[in-house]
Amino acid sequence: MREAFCTYYFFVWTPSEESCRNGMASNGIALTNQPCGVKFNFRDWGNRSVYINVTGYVDRMINYNDRTTYLHIASTRNPMDPLGIWDNFSIGGIKVKVGDRDNLVMGSQCISSNDPHMTTFDGYRWENQRTGTFVLYQHRTLPYTVHVIYSECVPRRATCNCGVAVRNGFSYYIVRTCEIVSLYNTKILSIPCEKDQLCKAADLQIVKSGEHYTVTFPSGTQVSFSISSWNNFIGSVRIRASVSDIESSLGLCGLTNGDTSDDFIPKGGSSPTDSTTFAMSWRISMDSGVSLFSKLSSYYQDTSWIYNGGVQPEADDTYCTCAQRGPIDTYQFSLPNAVHCNMTSPSQLCEGGNAELTLNSCSNADNRKRRSTEDTDDVDIESELTYDKKYNESADIEVQIFVQQKL
């Protein structure tokens, strides 16, 4: 008997509630590092085990009790098996209990509040009244980044948030309200500059309500900020951590793990340091070419991961949500629309958001490079940000100590 006769494919799925809560599509579990099914090879029949790896779906809600969800398995038809002995095989309703981890990040909010007073995800309060562009948040394995701009708002005494750039891969959303970065001059734009590019609708969810902005990553990590109506600075930038940030967040927001003593891990470092060394390490120097506010930012040409392949090589695991089974008449996995694979976190944003934004084709970095020269909007916003002629990046700025304590 040929081995193919004894190779069978089984769909694995967990019905979706098809609802949208907290901006996240509902689901029960995600399959980890495997498609929406399992394959039994010739050699698997007998005493060998074939495993289905599942991860609890992140719903951004605190579930006080374990959540119960059901896993279903059903056969596909093997065309080489004339007897069709497995054709109608199915197991419905394998009970899976999902323990909640959202409670671990309950209240984990990183804040950059003018001038800027900082709070890490774990609640440590410190001061960073410096000028320049900073990495407020970065994920250790996912292509998620948030950059902020601080420029003078009270001469030589305080700086204020005046730019926020949120990036997931080649998709981004950028808002900027200042014209220059300066410790001496305030130059505010009369109208805030906004710039967006979405490669896939579910790369970022962007909600703008009046002067208030909320940008959500697929992991559920959420960035929010408001533009002040009286001075056009951005009052505060807040980032709410998600489960995916645990032991994985970098930047000024610090390492999320419930322990404030290790929050000040500098860029490229592995152990915590003082706040000055920490803050300066996450400042993006003027000429480094990696600021998301810079037209030629190398972030936009980053080819270390492939967009359409969907799998970032540095990501630890990939996930599939499998909301329904495929057709019985298939062999191998003919996957239905309700399947989302190659996700970098076991969560996904609701479809249908971002109604006002148009999608761009961002299939690869070459495309991205071409766009950056053709799209006049790009040149418009990105070329405007300048540094004050008197700006001395290496100057030692005195940071005023207002608070330096644990919450």
**Residue from 20, 77, 81, 102 in contact with Ca ion (CB under 5 A):** 102
Binding residues with Ca ion: total (CB under 5 A): 11
Which CB atom, from 211 or from 262, has the smaller least distance to Ca ion?
Answer: 262
**Residue from 3, 66, 87, 259 in contact with Ca ion (CB under 5 A):** 259
Residue 174 has φ and ψ, to the nearest 5°, of -130, 130
**What's the CA gap between 32 and 320, in Å, rounded?**
7
Can you tell me which residue has the tokens 């003018």? Answer: 114
The residue whose Cβ lies closest to Ca ion is 102
**What's the CA gap between 376 and 359, in Å, rounded?**
17
Nearest distance from C-beta of residue 108 to Ca ion, angstroms: 10
Which CB atom, from 125 or from 371, has the smaller least distance to Ca ion?
Answer: 125
Other C-beta atoms closer than 10 Å to the C-beta of 374 total 9
Nearest distance from C-beta of residue 259 to Ca ion, angstroms: 5
- 99: tokens are 């323990």
**13 in Cβ contact with 322 (< 8 Å):** yes
When asked if residue 69 is in the footprint of Ca ion (CB under 5 A), the reply is no
Which CB atom, from 100 or from 179, has the smaller least distance to Ca ion?
Answer: 100
**169 in Cβ contact with 301 (< 8 Å):** no
Nearest distance from C-beta of residue 28 to Ca ion, angstroms: 11
Which CB atom, from 181 or from 239, has the smaller least distance to Ca ion?
Answer: 239
DSSP letter assigned to residue 295: T
- 305: tokens are 């991961």
DSSP letters of 225-283? EEE-TTT-SEEEEEEE--GGGBTTEESTT--BSS-GGG--PPTT-SS---HHHHHHHTE
Nearest distance from C-beta of residue 375 to Ca ion, angstroms: 40
Which CB atom, from 60 or from 195, has the smaller least distance to Ca ion?
Answer: 60
- 43: tokens are 């050699």
- 221: tokens are 């990590």
Which CB atom, from 75 or from 221, has the smaller least distance to Ca ion?
Answer: 221
**Residue from 105, 255, 315, 362 in contact with Ca ion (CB under 5 A):** 255
When asked if residue 203 is in the footprint of Ca ion (CB under 5 A), the reply is no
Can you tell me which residue has the tokens 């019985």? Answer: 328
Which CB atom, from 63 or from 324, has the smaller least distance to Ca ion?
Answer: 63
**Residue from 63, 228, 276, 364 in contact with Ca ion (CB under 5 A):** 63
**Residue from 14, 31, 100, 196 in contact with Ca ion (CB under 5 A):** 100
Can you tell me which residue has the tokens 């960073």? Answer: 128
**Residue from 24, 34, 59, 305 in contact with Ca ion (CB under 5 A):** 59
Which CB atom, from 123 or from 336, has the smaller least distance to Ca ion?
Answer: 123
Span from 9-17, 209-217, 263-271, 272-280 in contact with Ca ion (CB under 5 A): 263-271
Nearest distance from C-beta of residue 394 to Ca ion, angstroms: 29
**What's the CA gap between 201 and 349, in Å, rounded?**
9
Span from 116-124, 297-305, 331-339, 355-363 in contact with Ca ion (CB under 5 A): 116-124
**What's the CA gap between 398 and 387, in Å, rounded?**
19
Which CB atom, from 103 or from 373, has the smaller least distance to Ca ion?
Answer: 103
- 209: tokens are 């309500």
Nearest CA to 159 out of 179, 174, 175, 181 is that of 181
Binding to Ca ion (CB under 5 A) within 329-388 occurs at none
Contacts 24+ apart (CB under 8 A), 101-104: 101/56, 101/58, 101/243, 101/246, 102/58, 102/59, 102/60, 102/61, 102/62, 102/63, 102/242, 102/243, 103/62, 104/243, 104/246, 104/258
DSSP letter assigned to residue 22: T
Which CB atom, from 135 or from 335, has the smaller least distance to Ca ion?
Answer: 135
Which CB atom, from 102 or from 211, has the smaller least distance to Ca ion?
Answer: 102
Nearest distance from C-beta of residue 192 to Ca ion, angstroms: 33
**What's the CA gap between 74 and 328, in Å, rounded?**
8
**Residue from 257, 318, 348, 354 in contact with Ca ion (CB under 5 A):** 257
Nearest distance from C-beta of residue 31 to Ca ion, angstroms: 18
Nearest distance from C-beta of residue 333 to Ca ion, angstroms: 29
Span from 25-33, 175-183, 206-214, 256-264 in contact with Ca ion (CB under 5 A): 256-264
Binding site for Ca ion (CB under 5 A): 59, 61, 63, 100, 102, 122, 255, 257, 259, 262-263
